[in-house]
Amino acid sequence: MIEAVGLTKRYGKTLAVDNLSFTVPTGRVTGFLGPNGAGKSTTMRMILGLDTPSGGSALIDGKRYRDLHQPLRTVGALLDAKWVHPNRSARAHLAWMAKSNRLPAKRVDEVLDIVGLSAVAGKRAGGFSLGMSQRLGIAAALLGDPQVLLFDEPVNGLDPEGILWIRKFMHRLADEGRTVFVSSHLLSEMALTAQELVVIGRGKLISQSSTEDFVSQATENTVRVRSPQLGALRTALGRTGVSIRDEGESLIVSGMDCADIGELAAQTGTVLHELSPQRGSLEEAFMQLTGDSVEYHTEIAEGQVPATLVPAGK
């Protein structure tokens, strides 16, 4: 279990992480979600004892990372796949890490096998593609067969095959009973990968809940109805007290599901041309929740052009 208590990191005047408290439960995949610059990586570096918190603490199974003995046996982490010397071979990179925690040399070949890099183990890591580098980073994280795993944006920049591989891998790790804490700025990705979600924005906690709860709370379920007798239908629906909104030639109904609307239409003898459930997009929900907490806003809002647009040089 990972536990953050009042975790705070200050760089000069800016608060990168602001009094952040959350827990990452054992044996599940927990997503760490937030827009770019929300403080996810800083938080992960503090959990790993690389950055010193300005306040509060991060504990792994009740201990500070820097108090762990041979920490690779307890916590594996991939924060950045590029943290490898480009002229060192994949095997040598894993070999020194294994040695520093007194792990057997044969474990290096085992993890290379798990991530499918055995064939290029002797090649210099600088020549690896991003996908291969990510695999090498995951191999390094798995070296000590740790119960707790941290991944920072593991699918960033990967091709679809790589994304699918990582996603399956996370599930496999959680199925083996490990604690997986994985950060992302993509809610759609997290909805597929994580069972629990810790959401932050501007270094502050926005919510911690199960992914299911978060998604259903965040997205509004509505039904789109089209009918040549829209007026009659609106009256009938109005009597039930649900909320209705016009959208072009159709009605958007919230608070009633498709089956009930269909039956209501049959009772009132209304012809239906469309009856389709609408799911609010995860991205929209995420934007609504974290909208105020995005650090670098774009200057121009959508569809809005500044009134005084003067050509350059005049």
Partner 1 sequence: MSLLTAERIKLFSTRSPWWCGLAAVVLPIGFTALLVGQANGGLEVGVTTTQATANLGRSVVMVLAALAVTTEYRFSTIRSTFQATPNRIAALLAKTAVVAALAGVLGELVAFGSWGVSRLLKPSADLALDSADDWRSVAGEGLVFALAAVLALGVGILVRQTAGAVALLLVYSLLVENLIQLIPTAGEDIHRWMPFVAADQFIGVGQRIPDPAFGPWGYLVYFAGISLVVLAAALVTANRRDA
Shortest distance, position 51 Cβ to partner 1, whole Å:
4
Shortest distance, position 198 Cβ to partner 1, whole Å:
21
Name the token pair of 178: 């490990």
Q: Which of 11/213 has CB closer to partner 1?
A: 11
Q: Which of 102/168 has CB closer to partner 1?
A: 102
Q: Which of 50/287 has CB closer to partner 1?
A: 50
Q: Which of 84/218 has CB closer to partner 1?
A: 84
Q: Which of 54/219 has CB closer to partner 1?
A: 54
What's the chain look like in SS3?
CEEEEEEEEEECCEEEEEEEEEEECCCCEEEEECCCCCCHHHHHHHHCCCCCCCEEEEEECCECHHHCCCHHHCEEEECCCCCCCCCCEHHHHHHHHHHHCCCCCHHHHHHHHHCCCHHHCCCEHHHCCHHHHHHHHHHHHHCCCCCEEEEECCCCCCCHHHHHHHHHHHHHHHHCCCEEEEEECCHHHHHHHCCEEEEEECCEEEEEEEHHHHHHHHCCEEEEEECCCHHHHHHHHHHHCCEEEEECCEEEEECCCHHHHHHHHHHHCCCCCEEEEEECCHHHHHHHHHHHHCCCCCCCCCCCCCCCCCCCCC
Q: Which of 91/199 has CB closer to partner 1?
A: 91
Judged by the rule CB under 8 A, the positions of this chain that interact with partner 1 are: 45, 48-52, 65-68, 71-72, 77, 79-80, 82-89, 92-93, 95-97, 99-102, 140
Shortest distance, position 93 Cβ to partner 1, whole Å:
8
Shortest distance, position 123 Cβ to partner 1, whole Å:
13
Q: Which of 80/295 has CB closer to partner 1?
A: 80
Shortest distance, position 136 Cβ to partner 1, whole Å:
11
Shortest distance, position 212 Cβ to partner 1, whole Å:
33
Shortest distance, position 96 Cβ to partner 1, whole Å:
4
Cα–Cα distance measured from residue 218 to residue 10, given in angstroms and rounded to the nearest whole number: 30
